[in-house]
């Protein structure tokens, strides 16, 4: 079941996101979050754009949100999408279900474009973007440094 995220989801979303912070280069964050920090993020992001969670058996096993690509006025209508799943939630269609719901909602809200920023080499995220019609439009070389490695960042775009 997909539903809007609420601040009460903070603990579950923190657990999911901290896995990626601490064990992967999927996110460029390096410090684990606390539930209070995630709660504030949920509130702030939900105030400006769509934020969804996926539940199975009463347990949150994935989430995605879209927020403005940049803060300057001309970015209005251009949204950056982020999507995270529990490790046990991968390969079950949850990511596709969340992506489909997010694209539908962004079209309903008449946004212009969706962007996914994907660490180069993250084949699962790249494949999900491609499945939904996102086009790789660029690569920022050496955009990040994490886990002792310099990381490139691929930009995927879907015109709505």
Full DSSP string of 95-156 = HHHHHHHHHHHHHHTT-SEEEEEEETT-HHHHHHHHHTT-EEEEEEEEEEEETTEEEEEEEE
Q: What local confidence, expressed as pLDDT, does residue 36 receive?
A: 98
In the chain, the percentage of residues whose pLDDT exceeds 90 is 98
* Confidence class for position 131, pLDDT limits 50, 70, 90: very high
Q: What local confidence, expressed as pLDDT, does residue 122 receive?
A: 96
Mean pLDDT of the chain: 97
* Tens digit of each residue's pLDDT (9 = 90 or more) over 52-100: 999 999 999 999 999 999 989 999 999 999 999 999 989 999 999 999 9
Q: What local confidence, expressed as pLDDT, does residue 92 receive?
A: 93
Query: What whole-number distance in Å separates Cα of residue 123 and Cα of residue 126?
Result: 5
User: Is residue 11 classed as helix, strand or coil in its secondary structure?
Assistant: helix
> Angle, nearest 10°, between helix axes 35-48 and 10-23?
110
Q: What local confidence, expressed as pLDDT, does residue 69 receive?
A: 94
Q: What are 149-154's contacts with CB under 8 Å, separation 24+? A: 149/25, 151/25, 151/28, 151/119, 151/120, 152/119, 152/120, 153/117, 153/118, 153/119, 153/120, 154/117, 154/118, 154/119, 154/120, 154/126
Among 15-24, 85-94, 136-145, 148-157, name the one with the lowest average pLDDT.
Answer: 85-94
Mean pLDDT of 111-128: 97
- Where do the domains of the chain lie, and which CATH numbers do they carry? 2-114 (3.40.630.30)
In the chain, the percentage of residues whose pLDDT exceeds 70 is 100
pTM of the model: 0.94
């Amino acid at each position: 079941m997909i539903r809007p995220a609420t601040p009460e989801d903070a603990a579950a979303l923190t657990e999911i996101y901290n896995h990626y912070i601490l064990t992967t280069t999927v996110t460029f964050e390096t410090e684990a979050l606390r539930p209070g920090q995630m709660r504030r993020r949920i509130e702030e992001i939900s105030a400006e754009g769509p934020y969804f969670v996926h539940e199975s058996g009463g347990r949150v096993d994935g989430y995605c949100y879209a927020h403005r690509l940049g803060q300057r006025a001309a970015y209005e209508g251009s949204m950056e999408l982020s999507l995270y799943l529990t490790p046990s939630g991968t390969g079950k269609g949850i990511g596709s279900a969340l992506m489909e719901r997010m694209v539908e909602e962004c079209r309903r809200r008449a946004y212009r474009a969706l962007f996914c920023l994907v660490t180069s080499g993250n084949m699962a995220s790249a494949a999900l973007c491609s499945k939904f019609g996102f086009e790789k439009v660029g690569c920022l070389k050496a955009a990040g440094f994490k886990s002792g490695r310099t990381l490139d960042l691929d930009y995927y775009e879907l015109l709505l």
